[in-house]
Structure 1
Protein backbone atom coordinates (compact mmCIF):
# COMPACT_ATOMS: atom_id res chain seq x y z
CA UNK A 1 0.00 0.00 0.00
CA UNK A 2 1.38 3.43 -0.86
CA UNK A 3 0.43 6.72 0.73
CA UNK A 4 -1.54 7.12 3.92
CA UNK A 5 -4.92 5.47 4.24
CA UNK A 6 -5.72 7.70 7.22
CA UNK A 7 -3.88 10.41 9.08
CA UNK A 8 -2.24 9.37 12.32
CA UNK A 9 -4.51 11.84 14.13
CA UNK A 10 -7.68 10.32 12.66
CA UNK A 11 -6.49 6.80 13.48
CA UNK A 12 -5.51 7.77 17.04
CA UNK A 13 -8.82 9.59 17.61
CA UNK A 14 -10.82 6.63 16.27
CA UNK A 15 -8.90 4.20 18.46
CA UNK A 16 -9.40 6.41 21.52
CA UNK A 17 -13.15 6.24 20.87
CA UNK A 18 -12.86 2.47 20.38
CA UNK A 19 -11.19 2.21 23.80
CA UNK A 20 -13.83 4.43 25.46
CA UNK A 21 -16.60 2.26 23.99
CA UNK A 22 -14.92 -0.96 25.13
CA UNK A 23 -14.46 0.53 28.60
CA UNK A 24 -18.17 1.46 28.78
CA UNK A 25 -19.11 -2.05 27.62
CA UNK A 26 -16.95 -3.61 30.34
CA UNK A 27 -18.59 -1.34 32.93
CA UNK A 28 -22.21 -1.68 31.79
CA UNK A 29 -21.91 -5.28 30.48
CA UNK A 30 -23.75 -4.12 27.32
CA UNK A 31 -21.65 -5.51 24.48
CA UNK A 32 -23.74 -4.20 21.56
CA UNK A 33 -22.02 -0.78 21.35
CA UNK A 34 -18.66 -2.59 21.09
CA UNK A 35 -19.99 -4.70 18.21
CA UNK A 36 -21.52 -1.66 16.51
CA UNK A 37 -18.01 -0.19 16.05
CA UNK A 38 -17.34 -2.82 13.38
CA UNK A 39 -18.38 -2.67 9.76
CA UNK A 40 -21.27 -4.93 8.75
CA UNK A 41 -18.78 -7.23 6.99
CA UNK A 42 -16.04 -7.18 9.66
CA UNK A 43 -13.53 -10.01 9.65
CA UNK A 44 -12.80 -10.98 13.26
CA UNK A 45 -10.05 -13.54 13.74
CA UNK A 46 -9.93 -15.01 17.22
CA UNK A 47 -7.30 -17.73 17.32
CA UNK A 48 -9.03 -19.88 19.93
CA UNK A 49 -12.64 -19.31 18.79
CA UNK A 50 -12.09 -19.15 15.03
CA UNK A 51 -12.90 -16.63 12.32
CA UNK A 52 -16.13 -14.67 12.30
CA UNK A 53 -17.41 -12.81 9.28
CA UNK A 54 -19.81 -9.96 9.88
CA UNK A 55 -21.11 -8.19 12.94
CA UNK A 56 -23.95 -10.66 13.33
CA UNK A 57 -21.44 -13.50 13.82
CA UNK A 58 -19.37 -11.42 16.25
CA UNK A 59 -22.35 -10.28 18.33
CA UNK A 60 -23.47 -13.64 19.83
CA UNK A 61 -19.86 -14.70 20.32
CA UNK A 62 -18.91 -11.57 22.28
CA UNK A 63 -22.07 -11.72 24.39
CA UNK A 64 -21.55 -15.40 25.20
CA UNK A 65 -17.82 -14.95 25.85
CA UNK A 66 -18.22 -11.94 28.10
CA UNK A 67 -21.29 -13.10 30.00
CA UNK A 68 -20.04 -16.57 30.96
CA UNK A 69 -17.12 -17.46 33.19
CA UNK A 70 -14.31 -16.41 32.99
CA UNK A 71 -15.24 -13.52 30.66
CA UNK A 72 -17.91 -12.26 33.02
CA UNK A 73 -15.22 -11.78 35.66
CA UNK A 74 -13.01 -9.63 33.41
CA UNK A 75 -13.46 -6.02 34.42
CA UNK A 76 -11.65 -4.00 31.75
CA UNK A 77 -9.55 -4.27 28.61
CA UNK A 78 -7.06 -1.40 28.76
CA UNK A 79 -4.27 -1.16 26.21
CA UNK A 80 -0.85 -1.36 27.82
CA UNK A 81 0.80 -0.01 24.68
CA UNK A 82 -0.24 0.72 21.11
CA UNK A 83 1.35 1.40 17.74
CA UNK A 84 -0.42 3.32 14.98
CA UNK A 85 0.26 2.50 11.32
CA UNK A 86 -1.60 5.15 9.29
CA UNK A 87 -0.45 3.65 5.97
CA UNK A 88 -2.43 0.47 6.62
CA UNK A 89 -5.02 1.91 8.99
CA UNK A 90 -3.92 -0.54 11.66
CA UNK A 91 -3.52 -0.23 15.39
CA UNK A 92 -1.49 -2.92 17.10
CA UNK A 93 -1.82 -3.08 20.86
CA UNK A 94 -1.40 -5.25 23.92
CA UNK A 95 -4.63 -5.50 25.88
CA UNK A 96 -4.80 -6.44 29.53
CA UNK A 97 -7.70 -8.60 30.73
CA UNK A 98 -7.80 -8.18 34.52
CA UNK A 99 -10.25 -10.25 36.51
CA UNK A 100 -12.48 -9.08 39.33
CA UNK A 101 -10.89 -8.83 42.77
CA UNK A 102 -11.37 -12.25 44.40
CA UNK A 103 -11.71 -10.53 47.77
CA UNK A 104 -8.28 -9.46 48.99
CA UNK A 105 -7.21 -6.90 46.39
CA UNK A 106 -5.33 -9.41 44.23
CA UNK A 107 -5.16 -8.50 40.54
CA UNK A 108 -4.88 -11.48 38.21
CA UNK A 109 -4.87 -10.99 34.45
CA UNK A 110 -3.56 -12.16 31.11
CA UNK A 111 -2.80 -10.14 28.00
CA UNK A 112 -3.33 -10.47 24.28
CA UNK A 113 -2.14 -8.67 21.19
CA UNK A 114 -4.91 -7.17 19.07
CA UNK A 115 -4.53 -5.87 15.55
CA UNK A 116 -7.47 -3.73 14.48
CA UNK A 117 -7.86 -2.24 11.01
CA UNK A 118 -9.74 0.99 10.55
CA UNK A 119 -12.34 1.42 7.80
CA UNK A 120 -13.05 5.12 8.38
CA UNK A 121 -16.08 6.92 9.78
CA UNK A 122 -15.54 5.42 13.24
CA UNK A 123 -15.81 1.81 12.02
CA UNK A 124 -13.31 -1.04 12.16
CA UNK A 125 -13.20 -3.64 9.36
CA UNK A 126 -10.93 -6.26 10.88
CA UNK A 127 -9.69 -7.44 14.24
CA UNK A 128 -7.27 -10.21 15.04
CA UNK A 129 -6.59 -11.30 18.61
CA UNK A 130 -3.32 -13.15 19.13
CA UNK A 131 -2.55 -14.88 22.41
CA UNK A 132 -1.70 -18.13 24.08
CA UNK A 133 -4.99 -19.58 25.42
CA UNK A 134 -3.04 -21.55 28.02
CA UNK A 135 -1.90 -18.29 29.64
CA UNK A 136 -5.57 -17.32 30.06
CA UNK A 137 -6.37 -20.75 31.50
CA UNK A 138 -3.42 -20.48 33.90
CA UNK A 139 -4.49 -16.99 35.04
CA UNK A 140 -8.10 -18.11 35.48
CA UNK A 141 -7.06 -21.17 37.48
CA UNK A 142 -4.93 -18.92 39.67
CA UNK A 143 -7.94 -16.62 40.19
CA UNK A 144 -10.15 -19.62 41.04
CA UNK A 145 -7.62 -20.95 43.55
CA UNK A 146 -7.40 -17.54 45.24
CA UNK A 147 -11.20 -17.13 45.31
CA UNK A 148 -11.56 -20.66 46.71
CA UNK A 149 -9.00 -19.86 49.41
CA UNK A 150 -10.94 -16.69 50.30
CA UNK A 151 -14.34 -18.39 50.19
CA UNK A 152 -15.53 -16.19 47.31
CA UNK A 153 -15.49 -18.75 44.47
CA UNK A 154 -18.84 -18.57 42.63
CA UNK A 155 -20.50 -21.82 41.55
CA UNK A 156 -19.93 -21.17 37.84
CA UNK A 157 -16.20 -20.67 38.48
CA UNK A 158 -16.04 -23.86 40.55
CA UNK A 159 -17.75 -25.73 37.70
CA UNK A 160 -15.31 -24.23 35.18
CA UNK A 161 -12.37 -25.14 37.41
CA UNK A 162 -13.62 -28.73 37.74
CA UNK A 163 -13.91 -29.03 33.93
CA UNK A 164 -10.74 -27.25 32.89
CA UNK A 165 -8.43 -27.70 35.85
CA UNK A 166 -8.16 -31.46 35.56
Structure 2
Protein backbone atom coordinates (compact mmCIF):
# COMPACT_ATOMS: atom_id res chain seq x y z
CA UNK A 1 0.00 0.00 0.00
CA UNK A 2 1.38 3.38 -0.98
CA UNK A 3 1.51 6.44 1.22
CA UNK A 4 -1.47 8.75 0.64
CA UNK A 5 -0.64 11.94 -1.23
CA UNK A 6 -2.64 14.09 1.17
CA UNK A 7 -3.13 13.63 4.88
CA UNK A 8 -6.54 12.93 6.37
CA UNK A 9 -6.28 16.30 8.13
CA UNK A 10 -5.68 18.19 4.88
CA UNK A 11 -8.56 16.39 3.15
CA UNK A 12 -10.88 17.05 6.08
CA UNK A 13 -9.90 20.72 6.27
CA UNK A 14 -10.31 21.23 2.52
CA UNK A 15 -13.73 19.58 2.58
CA UNK A 16 -14.84 21.70 5.54
CA UNK A 17 -13.83 24.85 3.65
CA UNK A 18 -15.61 23.53 0.55
CA UNK A 19 -18.82 22.97 2.55
CA UNK A 20 -18.62 26.48 4.02
CA UNK A 21 -18.22 27.93 0.53
CA UNK A 22 -21.22 25.95 -0.73
CA UNK A 23 -23.31 27.22 2.20
CA UNK A 24 -22.36 30.85 1.46
CA UNK A 25 -23.05 30.39 -2.26
CA UNK A 26 -26.46 28.86 -1.59
CA UNK A 27 -27.33 31.79 0.65
CA UNK A 28 -25.99 34.55 -1.61
CA UNK A 29 -26.65 32.86 -4.98
CA UNK A 30 -23.11 33.91 -5.98
CA UNK A 31 -21.47 30.67 -7.14
CA UNK A 32 -18.13 32.14 -8.22
CA UNK A 33 -16.20 31.23 -5.04
CA UNK A 34 -17.56 27.67 -5.31
CA UNK A 35 -16.36 27.40 -8.92
CA UNK A 36 -12.93 28.65 -7.85
CA UNK A 37 -12.60 25.62 -5.53
CA UNK A 38 -12.05 23.53 -8.66
CA UNK A 39 -8.88 23.24 -10.69
CA UNK A 40 -8.96 25.05 -14.05
CA UNK A 41 -9.15 21.64 -15.82
CA UNK A 42 -11.79 20.10 -13.52
CA UNK A 43 -13.87 17.20 -14.77
CA UNK A 44 -17.40 17.47 -13.37
CA UNK A 45 -19.77 14.58 -14.05
CA UNK A 46 -23.43 15.37 -13.50
CA UNK A 47 -25.39 12.41 -14.78
CA UNK A 48 -28.42 14.37 -16.01
CA UNK A 49 -26.41 17.26 -17.48
CA UNK A 50 -23.40 15.33 -18.77
CA UNK A 51 -19.67 15.76 -18.25
CA UNK A 52 -18.21 19.23 -18.02
CA UNK A 53 -14.53 20.00 -18.55
CA UNK A 54 -13.02 23.10 -17.02
CA UNK A 55 -14.26 25.82 -14.73
CA UNK A 56 -16.08 27.75 -17.44
CA UNK A 57 -18.36 24.84 -18.31
CA UNK A 58 -19.02 24.24 -14.61
CA UNK A 59 -19.67 27.97 -14.10
CA UNK A 60 -22.13 28.11 -17.03
CA UNK A 61 -23.95 24.99 -15.78
CA UNK A 62 -24.26 26.12 -12.15
CA UNK A 63 -25.54 29.56 -13.19
CA UNK A 64 -28.22 27.99 -15.42
CA UNK A 65 -29.11 25.40 -12.80
CA UNK A 66 -29.40 27.76 -9.86
CA UNK A 67 -31.39 30.45 -11.67
CA UNK A 68 -34.18 28.20 -12.96
CA UNK A 69 -36.65 25.97 -11.14
CA UNK A 70 -36.09 23.66 -9.30
CA UNK A 71 -32.49 24.71 -8.58
CA UNK A 72 -33.57 28.29 -7.94
CA UNK A 73 -35.71 27.04 -5.06
CA UNK A 74 -33.01 24.93 -3.37
CA UNK A 75 -31.76 26.75 -0.30
CA UNK A 76 -28.84 24.65 0.98
CA UNK A 77 -26.69 21.64 0.17
CA UNK A 78 -25.49 20.26 3.51
CA UNK A 79 -23.70 16.94 3.69
CA UNK A 80 -25.63 14.37 5.71
CA UNK A 81 -22.54 12.17 6.02
CA UNK A 82 -19.11 11.96 4.47
CA UNK A 83 -16.25 9.50 4.17
CA UNK A 84 -12.62 10.43 3.59
CA UNK A 85 -10.71 8.00 1.35
CA UNK A 86 -7.09 8.98 1.81
CA UNK A 87 -5.81 6.43 -0.70
CA UNK A 88 -7.69 8.12 -3.57
CA UNK A 89 -7.82 11.68 -2.14
CA UNK A 90 -11.60 11.53 -2.36
CA UNK A 91 -14.49 12.60 -0.23
CA UNK A 92 -17.67 10.61 -0.70
CA UNK A 93 -20.75 12.26 0.75
CA UNK A 94 -24.51 12.40 0.66
CA UNK A 95 -25.82 15.91 0.06
CA UNK A 96 -29.28 17.09 0.94
CA UNK A 97 -31.02 19.49 -1.45
CA UNK A 98 -33.87 21.07 0.54
CA UNK A 99 -36.19 23.47 -1.21
CA UNK A 100 -37.49 26.70 0.27
CA UNK A 101 -40.62 26.61 2.37
CA UNK A 102 -43.63 26.57 0.02
CA UNK A 103 -45.58 28.50 2.65
CA UNK A 104 -46.68 26.01 5.28
CA UNK A 105 -43.38 24.98 6.85
CA UNK A 106 -43.06 21.82 4.75
CA UNK A 107 -39.50 20.65 4.09
CA UNK A 108 -39.25 19.06 0.65
CA UNK A 109 -35.92 17.62 -0.37
CA UNK A 110 -34.00 15.04 -2.38
CA UNK A 111 -30.46 13.78 -1.88
CA UNK A 112 -27.49 12.87 -4.03
CA UNK A 113 -24.15 11.17 -3.56
CA UNK A 114 -21.12 13.23 -4.55
CA UNK A 115 -17.60 11.96 -5.01
CA UNK A 116 -15.03 14.75 -5.09
CA UNK A 117 -11.32 14.26 -5.74
CA UNK A 118 -8.80 16.52 -4.10
CA UNK A 119 -5.92 18.02 -6.10
CA UNK A 120 -4.17 19.93 -3.32
CA UNK A 121 -3.98 23.59 -2.37
CA UNK A 122 -7.67 23.66 -1.47
CA UNK A 123 -8.80 22.67 -4.97
CA UNK A 124 -10.76 19.74 -6.35
CA UNK A 125 -10.03 18.22 -9.78
CA UNK A 126 -13.09 16.02 -10.20
CA UNK A 127 -16.64 15.72 -8.96
CA UNK A 128 -19.29 13.18 -9.77
CA UNK A 129 -22.88 13.64 -8.65
CA UNK A 130 -24.93 10.46 -8.50
CA UNK A 131 -28.68 10.48 -7.91
CA UNK A 132 -32.04 9.25 -9.04
CA UNK A 133 -33.55 11.99 -11.25
CA UNK A 134 -37.04 10.66 -10.51
CA UNK A 135 -36.61 11.50 -6.81
CA UNK A 136 -35.75 15.07 -7.74
CA UNK A 137 -38.72 15.17 -10.13
CA UNK A 138 -41.06 13.91 -7.40
CA UNK A 139 -39.68 16.43 -4.87
CA UNK A 140 -40.06 19.33 -7.31
CA UNK A 141 -43.60 18.26 -8.22
CA UNK A 142 -44.51 17.94 -4.55
CA UNK A 143 -43.15 21.45 -3.93
CA UNK A 144 -45.13 22.84 -6.90
CA UNK A 145 -48.37 21.17 -5.88
CA UNK A 146 -47.99 22.31 -2.29
CA UNK A 147 -47.19 25.88 -3.32
CA UNK A 148 -50.03 25.88 -5.84
CA UNK A 149 -52.51 24.73 -3.18
CA UNK A 150 -51.23 27.45 -0.85
CA UNK A 151 -51.29 30.13 -3.55
CA UNK A 152 -47.53 30.73 -3.26
CA UNK A 153 -46.31 29.18 -6.51
CA UNK A 154 -44.24 31.57 -8.63
CA UNK A 155 -44.28 31.82 -12.43
CA UNK A 156 -41.02 29.88 -12.94
CA UNK A 157 -42.23 26.92 -10.85
CA UNK A 158 -45.70 27.00 -12.46
CA UNK A 159 -44.15 26.89 -15.96
CA UNK A 160 -41.92 23.99 -14.89
CA UNK A 161 -44.90 22.12 -13.41
CA UNK A 162 -46.92 22.52 -16.61
CA UNK A 163 -43.98 21.24 -18.65
CA UNK A 164 -42.93 18.31 -16.44
CA UNK A 165 -45.91 17.09 -14.53
CA UNK A 166 -48.91 19.33 -14.33
CA UNK A 167 -51.22 16.60 -15.59
CA UNK A 168 -50.26 14.00 -12.99
Instruction: Report TM bin, short chain.
Output: over 0.9
Q: Helix, strand or coil: the match of 2:156?
A: helix
Q: Helix, strand or coil: the match of 1:104?
A: coil
- Pairing 1:84–2:76 present: no
Render the CA deviation track for 1:42-87: whole Å, top value 9, x for unaligned.
0000000000000011001001101111101000000000000111
Question: 1:113: which partner in 2?
Answer: 113
Q: In 1, distance between residues paired with 2:45 and 2:147?
A: 32
Question: 1:68: which partner in 2?
Answer: 68
Question: 2:19: which partner in 1?
Answer: 19
Q: In 2, distance between residues paired with 1:135 and 1:2?
A: 39
Question: 1:49: which partner in 2?
Answer: 49
Render the CA deviation track for 1:8-52: whole Å, top value 9, x for unaligned.
010000000000000000000001111000000000000000000
Length-normalised TM-score, structure 1: 0.98
Question: 1:31: which partner in 2?
Answer: 31
> 4+ runs of 1 displaced by more than 6 Å?
none
Q: In 1, distance between residues paired with 2:159 and 2:74?
A: 17
Question: 2:129: which partner in 1?
Answer: 129
Q: Helix, strand or coil: the match of 1:77?
A: coil
Listed as ranges, the gaps of 5+ residues in structure 2 are none
Deviates more, 1:107-116 or 1:3-12: 3-12
Render the CA deviation track for 1:81-104: whole Å, top value 9, x for unaligned.
000011111000000000000011
Question: 1:40: which partner in 2?
Answer: 40
Q: In 1, distance between residues paired with 2:104 and 2:142?
A: 14
Length-normalised TM-score, structure 2: 0.97
1:2 deviation in Å? 2.2
Residues matched between the structures, number? 166
The CA RMSD measured in Å over matched residues stands at: 0.8
